[in-house]
Every structure is written in C-alpha cells, then in structure tokens.
Structure 1
Amino acid sequence: MGRKSSLTDDQWVEIERRHLVDGISINALAQEFGVNESSLRRRIKPNKAEPKKAAKSLQALAEMKVEVDAKAKHFAEQLGALPFAKQQIVSDLARKLTNTSEHMASAAEISAASSHRLSRMANQQLELVDEVDPMKTRAQLESFAALQKLANISGEMPGRLAALSRGQPPEAPPSQEEVDQELALLLGSGGG
C-alpha cells in the first residue's frame, strides 16, 4: 500500500481540471502543488499504454454535453412558444412515455427470467426423451416442445429490446403457422 497523498480530493480534481481544461502542464502543476510529477501522471493518466484515453473520454463527454445542452435549449424554446395548457399536455405525455419505457424494461427483465426458467424446465423434459426411439417418450417430447415454445415466446420481447438498444432492427418472429408446422414435424404428427 502506498503512502497517503498530501493533496485533498478537491485539490486532485482541481489539478485534473486545470490540466485537461486549461492545458496547464503536469510539470507546472507538480511544482505549484509541491508533489512529484510521476505521482500526478499516475493519478491523471493511469494507463501508460493509452495515456490520452481518460482525457479523450472526458472530452467526448464534454462534446456530448454541449450537444445535449443545445438540444435542451432548442426544446425549451419550442415548449415556451406553446400556450401553458399545451405545455402541460407535453409534460404529461413525456411522463407517460417515460413510465411506459420503464415498465417495458421491467417487463422485458421478467420475461427474460421466465424464458430462462422455461428453457431449464424444457431441458429437464428433453433429458427424459429416449434418444433411440423418441416416440416411446412422446409425453416428455411434447412437454419439451410446449415448454420450449413458451420459453421462446417469453424471450421475444427482451430480445427485441436488446437488439433495439444496440441500434439493430429486431428479427421478425416466425408466424404462429410456422411455429405450429415445426412443432408438428418435431412430434411426427404431420400437421397437428
């Protein structure tokens, strides 16, 4: 364990701010604050392989903040141009959309957990299926198929939301007819 720093947390923040924002060199800051230059470098730029990574991520965040602030200002101007009653409607709609989004995320989490549990149950039934003559254990095979179908259905919403969060269009789910045909083939009943 290293020696305790002689600088306070506020001083460290000030040093980093002055280095990144004001462009003051680490040498100058080390002299001003009476600390070893290498200590400052380790604290401000801990990853020697990529010394500017921390600064770039702070720079990227600063650029994002500028963009968000500009959008917020533009939005405030547009909202301010509306009559008060319509401003209230916009606020109510925004609250409703936020609540809906949070509820959908919660529902997706629960659906993912359900899908996982149903898949485990389906797998337990599949373990009971006779590999040589699966039709001898048709009940277990049907239980597996039904449980797996439910697992797939409950996994659709979380999968779609995950794809959307990655900026990808979600895959179109198979139609009920396609699912039923696959199930019929699996069970060897030829269609129902």
Structure 2
Amino acid sequence: MGRRSKLSDAQWAEIERRMLEGESVRALAREYGVGESSIRERKTAHVESIKIVANQIVATERAVMSLPISAQISAHNLASKLRAISDNLASAAQYGAQTAHRLSALANSEVSKVDDASPLASVESLKGVAALTKLANDSAAIALNLIAANKETVKQLKDTPPEDQLRELSDAEFAEELARYGIEP
C-alpha cells in the first residue's frame, strides 16, 4: 500500500477539474506542492476517460441533431425507455440481492438447529436450510446476471478502440439491439 497523499480528496477533485479546463500538470503540481508524477499517476487516466466520454456525448448529440425532427423525438423516447429499463433492472437486482441476503441469514439461523452429532436427526431443519438457500440463490440471479453482463460489456469496451465504439448501426443491428431490450422498432 502506498503512502497517504498530502492532499485532501477535495484538493484532488479541484486538480481534476482544473486539468479538464486545460491547466497544465506542471503549474498545478507547483501550486499544490506535489510532484508532477503524483498528479499524472493519480488523475491522468481518469481525466482522459472523462474527455473520451465527453467527446462521445458531443458526437452522439451531433448525430441526433442530424436526424429529422421526428427521428430525434423517436431517438429521445427510445433512450428514455432504455434508461427506464436499466433503472428498473438495477432496482430489481438490488431488491433481489437484499432478499437473497435476508434469506441467507434465515438459512444460517436455521443451521443452528441442526444437531452436529446427528445431522440426519434434524432432517426438517436441513430441508428448511436447503429451501431457504435455494430461494436465496434464485433471488440473487438478476443481480448476478447484471454483474456478469456489466463485466462482459466492460471487457468488450476495453477490447474495442474508442473510435469504433460509436459506429453507426445498420437497421438490422439496431432492430436486434431493440429486441434485446424487448422493444419493438
């Protein structure tokens, strides 16, 4: 573990903001009394990610503005639906994970009723543990699937050059993406 920074989180946030506004690393390092390498190591990758995302947002906004007005409305409506689907799935995953946690706790408390010396004498308790554990695992499925999907998406994004991430989809690819989310074109 590295040594603790002499700058506060608020100071690092200020440095990041100022870097995004174009101030030089050298000037910031001098002002805050830290080495240039400290700033580069801590914030450069993050700042670069922000710049890439900002450029993607601008490119997307330009692409939307180049559409006819009816298509712009459709694109905004579709984006709203996709955000709502994402939010709802995230909430379902959160509730499922909370349910899984509660059921696991109940299964754990049920385990204490099992006689260690003669576990088969506690068949009813073992059945209860098994049922609660299965329900807990089933409840966690949505959350686990979202985590797996997120992990796969991150891997794909890391493997895809930034310039290819915003390529235009063909009509068939766009319809396929909509179908993945249960939306009819």
Q: Which runs of 4+ in 1 moved over 6 A?
A: none
Matches within 5 A, 1:1-192: 16=18, 21=22, 23=24, 26=27, 38=30, 40-42=31-33, 46=34, 50-53=38-41, 54-77=43-66, 80-81=67-68, 84=70, 86-167=71-152
TM-score by length of 2: 0.61
- The alignment covers a number of residue pairs equal to 140
Q: Is the 8 A contact 2:25 2:36 kept in 1?
A: no
Percent of matched pairs sharing the same residue:
24
Question: Aligned Cα RMSD in Å?
Answer: 3.4
Where is the helix percentage greater, Structure 1 or Structure 2? 2
After TM superposition, give the deviation of residue 124 of structure 1 in Å: 0.9
SS in 1 for 2:140: helix
Question: Where do 5+ consecutive residues of structure 2 fail to align?
Answer: 1-10, 155-185
Q: Deviations over 1:30-66 (max 9, x none)?
A: xxxxxxx84x043xxx576633132443233223312
TM-score by length of 1: 0.59
Q: Judging changes above 3 Å, is the alpha-carbon distance between structure 1 residues 93 and 60 closer, same or farther for their aligned structure 2 residues?
A: closer
After TM superposition, give the deviation of residue 89 of structure 1 in Å: 3.7
Q: Judging changes above 3 Å, is the alpha-carbon distance between structure 1 residues 146 and 24 closer, same or farther for their aligned structure 2 residues?
A: closer
Question: Where do 5+ consecutive residues of structure 1 fail to align?
Answer: 1-8, 30-36, 170-192
